[in-house]
Amino acid sequence: MTYCVGMLVDEGLAMIADTRTNAGVDNISAYRKLHVIDKPGERVLAVATAGNLSVTQTALAMVREGVHLNVGAEPETLETANSLFKCAQLLGHALRNVRQSIAPALEADSLNTSASMLLGGQIAGGPMQLFLIYSQGNFIECGADTPFMQIGEAKYGKPILASGLRNNTSLAEAVKLGLISFSTTMRSNVGVGAPFDMLTVRRDMISGEQRRIEADDPYFEDLHDRWTRAQAQARAAMPEPPWMNGPRLAHSRA
C-alpha cells in the first residue's frame, strides 16, 4: 500500500510520498515513489506514484526514453516538455499504454494493475500546477476549492487536510498538516510507513528542496506525540451526550 499527497497553496507546492510497498504482511519492502526533476531556473517537478509497482516503474521508464504523443511527432520527456500540462499528457499516455500491454497477463493471474500518479511543479514561464493522473491516462488539475490531491491509502489522512488546508495556508503549515495526515494513516494501516520523501517548492522560484523523513525523525516523532495528546485533550473537553446523564429510561413494555 502507498500514500502520497500533493498540496498546492498560494506560497508554493509540497509533495510527500511514503516508501512502503508490500505483497502481504510478510513481504514488505521500501521503494522511492517520489521522483524529482530539479533544474534550477528551468523546471522543477515531481511525480509521486501509487498502485502496481511494475506498471508505474515501466511507465516512468517509458517517459524517460521519450513518448510520441502524435504520429510523426518528436519524442518528448519530462525534461523537454514545454508545459506541465504536456508532462501530464506524457505520463497519462505512458500509463495507459503500459496497462494495455501488460494488463491481460497480470489480470490472468488475478493481479491488480491499477496505478495512479501525482504530478506537481513549475516550468519557467508557466504556472505552478498539480495534477492527478488516473490509470486510464486521463487526469485532473488541482483547483482552488480543494488545494490538495491524494493517491493510494487516502481516507485516513484526508480529514485533517480537508479541515485545515486552505489556499492561504503557509507552506510550512501545509507540510505540518501533510505530515499529520501521514501519522494518522500509519496508525490505521501498516501498509503505509516511513521513511517519507518530500519536495517543497516556493512559487516562481523554479527550484525545490528535498528531504527524507525517517521514522525516528525528531520533528515527526514530536508532531505525532503532540497530535495524539491534542486529540485526547480535545475529546476529554467535549461534553457528554446530555441524554446519557439522566436517569435510566424505563424499558418500554409491549
- Categorize the per-residue pLDDT at 247 as very low, low, confident or very high, splitting at 50, 70 and 90: low
Q: Residue 110 is which amino acid?
A: S
The three three-digit cell numbers of residue 151, written as one number: 493517491
CA atoms of 245 and 254, how far apart (whole Å): 26
Q: Looking at the domain assignment, is residue 55 inside a domain?
A: yes
Q: Looking at the domain assignment, is residue 168 inside a domain?
A: yes
Domain range enclosing 115? 3-233
Q: How far is CA 234 from CA 16, 69, 117, 135, 227, in A?
A: 27, 53, 36, 40, 10
Q: Looking at the domain assignment, is residue 102 inside a domain?
A: yes
CA atoms of 120 and 237, how far apart (whole Å): 40
Helix (H) or strand (E) holding 208: strand 208-213
Q: Looking at the domain assignment, is residue 243 inside a domain?
A: no
CA atoms of 222 and 102, how far apart (whole Å): 44
CATH number of the domain bearing residue 153: 3.60.20.10
Largest CA distance in the chain: 82
Cα distance from N-terminal residue to C-terminal residue, the chain:
52
Q: Looking at the domain assignment, is residue 253 inside a domain?
A: no
> Which tens digit of pLDDT belongs to each residue from 119-166?
999 999 999 999 999 999 999 999 988 999 999 989 999 999 999 999
| The pLDDT of residue 26 | 45
* pTM (2 d.p.): 0.89
**What is the tally of structural domains in the chain?**
1
Q: What percent of the chain has pLDDT over 90?
A: 71
Is-contact 130 146, C-beta < 8 A? no
Is-contact 117 47, C-beta < 8 A? yes
Q: How far is CA 67 from CA 30, 94, 120, 175, 228, in A?
A: 28, 7, 19, 33, 46
Q: Is the omega angle on the peptide bond into residue 195 within 30 degrees of 0, that is, cis?
A: yes
| The pLDDT of residue 71 | 77
Residue 1 has pLDDT above 80, yes or no: no
Q: Looking at the domain assignment, is residue 242 inside a domain?
A: no
- Categorize the per-residue pLDDT at 238 as very low, low, confident or very high, splitting at 50, 70 and 90: very high
Is-contact 128 63, C-beta < 8 A? no
> Which tens digit of pLDDT belongs to each residue from 177-228?
999 999 999 888 777 878 999 999 999 999 999 999 998 999 999 999 999 9
Q: Looking at the domain assignment, is residue 114 inside a domain?
A: yes
CA atoms of 12 and 14, how far apart (whole Å): 7
Q: Looking at the domain assignment, is residue 229 inside a domain?
A: yes
- C-alpha radius of gyration, the chain, whole number: 21
| The pLDDT of residue 109 | 67
Tally of residues, the chain: 254
Which residue, among 182, 86, 93, 163, has the nearest Cα to 129 in the 3D structure?
86
DSSP 159-185: HHHHHH--TTS-HHHHHHHHHHHHHHH
| The pLDDT of residue 110 | 67
| The pLDDT of residue 33 | 93
| The pLDDT of residue 106 | 67
